[in-house]
Chains A and B, each alone.
Chain A
Amino acid sequence: MNTKRIAKWGVCIIAVGFLTFFGATWQRKQVKDLKNEFPSELAPVFFVPGSSAGQNRFNLLFSKLNKDGHVHSVLKVKVSRDGHLTYTGKINKDDPSPFIVVAFQNNHDGYSNIKKQADWFSIAFDQLQKIYHFNHFSAVGHSNGGVILTLFLEKYLPKHVTINRLMTIASPFNLERRSTKKTQMLKDLIAGRKNLPKKMKVYSIAGTENYSGDGTVPFMSVDSGKYIFQDCVAGYTEVVVTGSGTFHSALPQNPQIVHMIEQYILKANIPSNVQRQNKMLPRIH
């Protein structure tokens, strides 16, 4: 009787040990898989202004985006020359897609400055990520802001973080050059394109106030973005906006561009029929 009881308990203990071992093995693999797939609740949208612009560059755009529907909180970060960060505003606890503007004390033009600004952006990005624990985000860059973001994505993006969508507005990938001859910056960007996140979708918007560009950035320079992104990321779309309000500094608050940010970056306030149309999906009755 006793032997029988000991045998029963022995079987139970072995079974429990067996379950523990296989459970732990399974969980280790599960955690690894989760790590790769798990998107954080918070997915901020970064906004980077162009040269000569400050942290308030997007104020008008934000007031338009926050007009109806979900109100996004706004955090502004200014990076000084020595990498020190100054914060204005805050991210609301319940806001899954806050706006974060990253501006620079040295906001001058030129490739050497753009390289420094990409480095400063990475300092701000790392710090913000440590505070807010996000592992995916989207970004909008106006003018050189788009170039800074592209450089950041090629050189500094941490491995465990992914970018969902990038929108560059009138970004001069070939600086102010009006020909197809590539500048050193474009050559470097093309050389680093293999480091770009493969799942990212890129929207490049060009303004054409006249036949050659938006008055500041030539269309050909914006168009050079195709050498960087085309066939390298999940999707690359170029959009040309014409008509009134398409000069360089007016582009971020241009109604059509605001609509595109809502549609492609925030994926909000878009009627389902339009979304379906955009995805080219058949209507389901």
Chain B
Amino acid sequence: MIKVNRWFINTKITHAVYTSLRQISSLIDVAVLFSVVNLTVFDKHGFINEIFHLAKLIPFDDLINSVISGICFMLNTWIVLMLAYLVADHLSKQKGYYSGLVSAIATTIILFSAPVISMVDYGDLPEFMNLQGQFFSYILIAICVGWATSWLLNHWNQHQKLVLSVEIVIVTIFSLALSIIWPMWSQTNLLAVFLQLIPNHQSLWLLLGATLSGLFTSFGFASPISLNSSGTTDVAIRQNLSYVFMHHHLTGVPYPINVHAIFETYATTGGEGMLMAVVILCLVLSKDGYIKQQSRYSFLPSLFNTASPLTLTLPIILNPILVIPLVLSTFVSCVIPIILVKLSWLPTSVYPFPVTTPGFLKGFLGTNGNWLALVVGVVNLLISIWIYLPFVKASLKELSDLEVTK
């Protein structure tokens, strides 16, 4: 495993991606800071906003929220374009800015053709490109475009104009085809669709979905289990709530196992993949200045479940060694509450809570103050730290070795 990881990290493309991400890490940190403050304080459904009733205290909170959303949209767009530019630039054999520019132009076309074709309202654009939206999908697209552009220009350097024209045509056709075939491609909640088709054995399907979600997160895709549940899950939440309001207790709800009650409540501490465990481990274990600094910046976002940018700056995506603990910790964090709920020791998390609620508190709030749920939240975090520990250690060693060889 270590050998595979070492080979992967030493490949030219991974090297180029890591270097590029480091170059734009300050931009990512600033974008995350704005996002976290906006999502927790100025958003009407943000955790801090809700618990301190800030909507009544802050004047023009809606306006502030939309202005910061706009800033985040611009910063996120810049991050994607810069990444496309830098990856192509690092991989290109030629000096100059041409390959970077071609890559950025092609990425711009992909980035904006989807909202243009699906006629997204101008005011909704920030939602299209925020941390809960398609930001991560576009990060992966930017890397692919950067790599493809450099490859084309490395092979046909004498036909630079032709390469630019061909690439524009190809990405336009690709974007059009994608929008037509699968218009809401990254907004589809695959698991909800799946659960609607198969109503039995919900626990097994949920675990499969959680495992898939971990895999998707590791490769930088938007998760198939969305943070905003819909479809069957939504019905399950409503039916459960209805039951609880009628019977005044949490036992015997019609849907004890659902995405909200298990995955959202217990397996997203810090962000999908129990990322708070990585932040804590990097804070404690890292001696490297850059990693230590990044984990410090990521602590606040991870407290409010928006540590996903950490997957870029540390880096976690495209780091094969971290795929195993990411998937395993998500899986275990789902298994523990499923077993306890099935044994009727733990009440199902029924009540809604803000997406930015600190991970370990979600169960406590979702059950309206059950102490065992709080214990499960904390235990899940501790077990995830234990699962991540050897892998993060190995990964940090690999990264510091990489620094030394450089």
Contacts and interface: CB of A to CB of B under 8 A. Distances in A.
Determine if chain A interacts with chain B.
yes
Interface of A: 16, 19-20, 22-28, 30-31, 34-35, 38, 40-42, 129-130, 133-135, 160
B368 A31 contact: yes
B138 interface: no
A225 B238 CA distance: 36
A19 B358 contact: yes
A23 B51 contact: yes
B353 A27 contact: yes
4 nearest CB pairs, A to B = A40-B242, A26-B51, A22-B51, A27-B365
A134 B351 contact: no
A23 B246 contact: no
Contacts of B69: none
B245 A23 contact: no
B241 A25 contact: no
B61 interface: no
B47 interface: yes
B30 interface: no
B235 A31 contact: no
Q: Interface size class for chain B?
A: 20 to 34
A135 B245 contact: yes
Interface string B352-393: 110001100100110011000010000000000000000000
Interface of B: 47, 50-52, 235, 238-239, 241-243, 245-246, 254, 351-353, 357-358, 361, 364-365, 368-369, 374
A23 B351 contact: no
Contacts of B242: 38, 40-42, 133-135
B253 to A, nearest CB: 9
Contacts of A16: 358
Contacts of A19: 47, 51, 358, 361
A24 B364 contact: yes
Contact of A129 (B52, B246, B353, B364): B246
Contact of B351 (A20, A27, A130): A27
A160 B368 contact: no
B246 A34 contact: no
Nearest to A40: B242
A134 B238 CA distance: 11
A137 B123 CA distance: 38
Contacts, number: 65
18 contacts: A19-B51, A19-B358, A22-B51, A27-B368, A27-B369, A30-B50, A34-B352, A38-B241, A38-B242, A38-B245, A40-B238, A42-B239, A42-B242, A130-B246, A133-B239, A135-B242, A135-B245, A160-B246
A278 B51 CA distance: 41
A147 B238 CA distance: 33
Please report whether the interface of chain A is mostly helix, strand, loop or mixed according to DSSP: helix
Interface centre among A41, A134, A135 (most CB of B within 10 A): A41
A31 B254 CA distance: 19
A22 B354 CA distance: 14
Contact of A135 (B52, B246, B353, B369): B246
A97 B47 CA distance: 35
Nearest to A27: B365
B254 A23 contact: no
Nearest to B362: A23
B238 A20 contact: no
Contacts of B353: 27
Contacts of B368: 27-28, 31
Nearest to B378: A16
A270 to B, nearest CB: 25
Interface centre among B50, B51, B364 (most CB of A within 10 A): B51
Given A34-B351, A38-B245, A160-B246, A23 B238 contact: no
Contacts of A134: 242
Given A30-B50, A38-B241, A41-B238, 12 more contacts: A20-B364, A23-B358, A23-B361, A26-B50, A28-B369, A38-B242, A41-B239, A42-B242, A133-B243, A133-B254, A135-B245, A160-B246
Contacts of A40: 238-239, 242
A20 B52 contact: no
Given A19-B51, A24-B369, A40-B238, A133 B351 contact: no
B254 A20 contact: no
Contacts of B243: 133
B50 to A, nearest CB: 6
Contacts of A42: 239, 242
Contacts of A22: 51-52
A38 B352 CA distance: 12
Contacts of B245: 34-35, 38, 135, 160
Nearest to B246: A133
Contacts of A35: 245
A25 B51 CA distance: 8
B262 to A, nearest CB: 19
Given A26-B51, A34-B241, A133-B254, A20 B246 contact: no
B238 A24 contact: no
B135 to A, nearest CB: 26
Given A16-B358, A34-B351, A23 B364 contact: yes
A22 B365 CA distance: 11
Contacts of A20: 361, 364, 374
Contacts of A34: 241, 245, 351-352
A27 B369 CA distance: 8
